[in-house]
Amino acid sequence: MFYGEYDHSLDKKGRIILPSKFRIAMKEHYVEKLFLTRGLDECVFVFPEEEWKSQEARFRAIPFTKREGRKFNRLYFSGAVDAVVDKQGRILVPRYLKDYAKIKREVVILGVSNRIEIWSKEKWEEFYRTSKESFEDVAEKLVNLD
């Protein structure tokens, strides 16, 4: 549903305008609510409500008796907040999520199939620079095309 890489900026109130292609996809899939939380690699994950519910069920199944499961769920769910896109296509990113992702003003918004990721421009450029060379190696390890 979400694809591409887009450069954007936070406005003075800490809001981000979602790319128009994402807003069109949300409308086509009847998405009204998004959920934001701490993502991996110091970005913010943004899920449509239906995908969020699927992720929540999956992570809720992790036994709370396992220390790592408790740690992950605490950080993941305590960082979660729901958001509705306003008429100008904006969502508010809470201060604690901006701090977590080291977002100041310039951001890169990524479409990663079932989710959106919001990165500080600097963190994304660093991740991309250090990861692009291993893209094919990672594909060989993870993707079975047989």
Helical packing angle, 49-60 and 67-78, nearest 10°: 160
Q: What is the pLDDT of residue 35?
A: 98
The per-residue b/e assignment along 108-135, b for 16 or more CB within 10 angstroms, e otherwise, is bbbbeeebbbbbbbebbeeeeeeeeeee
- Model pLDDT, residue 18: 97
- State the total domains in the chain: 1
Q: What angle do CA 5, 94, 38 make, to 5 degrees?
A: 60
The reported pLDDT for the residue numbered 136 is 84
pLDDT digits (tens, 9 = 90+) for 44-79: 999 999 999 999 999 989 988 999 999 999 999 999
Which residue range(s) make up the domain with 47? 2-142
pTM of the predicted protein model? 0.92
Mean pLDDT in order along the chain per 10 residues (146 residues): 96 95 95 97 97 94 92 94 96 97 97 97 96 84 72
- Please report the pLDDT score of residue 71 as a whole number: 93
- What's the CATH number where 20 sits? 3.40.1550.20
